[in-house]
């Protein structure tokens, strides 16, 4: 297992059934109706699978990039506390922003609805959303011992090909913004999942609105993830 760059994600698989969400407005812990099924954890599960299934050369390059950037690991016994502290700061920072904070085991997911993040039907960031992203970046810089997976998702309208491309472009827009603001490239992964991982019912406008989103998944770096 030590051959895997992101070995620490395996331990998080067992937590998929126990997702918790926190209301972005009140900061209170809550369980959504989709969390009772497969919905709320779909994005986290997709990210875990994506990281696990990367080829060995890609994992090795990522390991070397992290080491070259001087990014160390979270001490094994302190991972929970480290992510707890980061989560608390993100919840406080993002209150009233429209961005939801989801905790899944030792991973944190930031769910950014498309209607507040992007221009209509496009992939350019809304200028009004930059301040929110800037606040997130301050926390990401403080807690830098994480991999940041920027994942784009769409609703089911339009062709699979169009939705896949749009999800990739939107994820890349957020990733490029993080890079431009100084987040180390070695920490960032960008991926589009198209319409394949909905968190709500695509047959309703309310559901489609939830499915149009970008998620930032924060995965802690451990000693094992930096070993060969």
CATH numbers and ranges of domains, the chain? 7-226 (3.30.1330.60)
Tokens linked to 1: 């297992």
Rounded CA separation 128/157 (Å): 26
The confidence score (pLDDT) of residue 18 equals 43
The confidence score (pLDDT) of residue 2 equals 43
The confidence score (pLDDT) of residue 37 equals 37
The confidence score (pLDDT) of residue 226 equals 60
The confidence score (pLDDT) of residue 14 equals 37
Rounded CA separation 83/77 (Å): 12
Picking from 81, 92, 108, the residue whose alpha carbon sits closest to that of residue 28 is 92
The segments of the chain whose pLDDT lies below 70 read 1-42, 224-228
Q: What share of the chain is helix, strand, coil (3-state, %, to 5)?
A: 50, 20, 35
The confidence score (pLDDT) of residue 45 equals 78
The confidence score (pLDDT) of residue 227 equals 54
The confidence score (pLDDT) of residue 42 equals 64
pLDDT digits (tens, 9 = 90+) for 97-137: 999 999 999 999 999 999 999 988 899 999 999 999 999 99
Q: What is the reported pTM? A: 0.81
The confidence score (pLDDT) of residue 101 equals 95
The confidence score (pLDDT) of residue 17 equals 36
The confidence score (pLDDT) of residue 46 equals 84
The confidence score (pLDDT) of residue 30 equals 42
135 neighbors 178 (Cβ within 8 angstroms): no
Which residues in the chain belong to E strands, given as ranges?
20-22, 29-30, 100-104, 107-113, 146-153, 188-192, 213-220
The confidence score (pLDDT) of residue 24 equals 39
The confidence score (pLDDT) of residue 113 equals 94
125 neighbors 171 (Cβ within 8 angstroms): no
């Amino acid at each position: 297992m030590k051959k895997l760059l992101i070995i620490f994600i395996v331990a998080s698989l067992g937590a998929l059934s126990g997702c918790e969400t926190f209301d972005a407005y009140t900061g209170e812990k809550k369980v959504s109706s989709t969390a009772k099924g497969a919905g709320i954890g779909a994005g986290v599960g997709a990210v875990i699978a994506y990281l696990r299934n990367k080829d060995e050369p890609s994992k090795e390059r990522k390991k070397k990039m992290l080491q070259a950037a001087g990014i160390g690991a979270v001490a094994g016994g302190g991972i929970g506390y480290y992510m707890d502290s980061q989560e608390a700061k993100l919840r406080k920072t993002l209150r009233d922003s429209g961005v939801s904070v989801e905790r899944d085991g030792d991973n944190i997911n930031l769910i950014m609805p498309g209607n507040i993040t992007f221009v209509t039907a496009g992939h350019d960031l809304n200028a009004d959303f930059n301040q929110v992203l800037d606040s997130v970046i301050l926390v990401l810089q403080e807690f830098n011992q994480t991999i940041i997976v920027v994942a784009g998702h769409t609703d089911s309208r339009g062709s699979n090909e169009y939705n896949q491309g749009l999800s990739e472009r939107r994820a890349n827009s957020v990733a490029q913004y993080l890079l431009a603001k100084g987040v180390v490239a070695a920490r960032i992964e960008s991926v589009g999942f198209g319409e394949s991982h909905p968190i709500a019912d695509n047959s309703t406008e309310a559901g489609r609105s939830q499915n149009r989103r970008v998620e930032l998944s924060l995965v802690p770096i451990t000693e094992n993830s930096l070993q060969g």
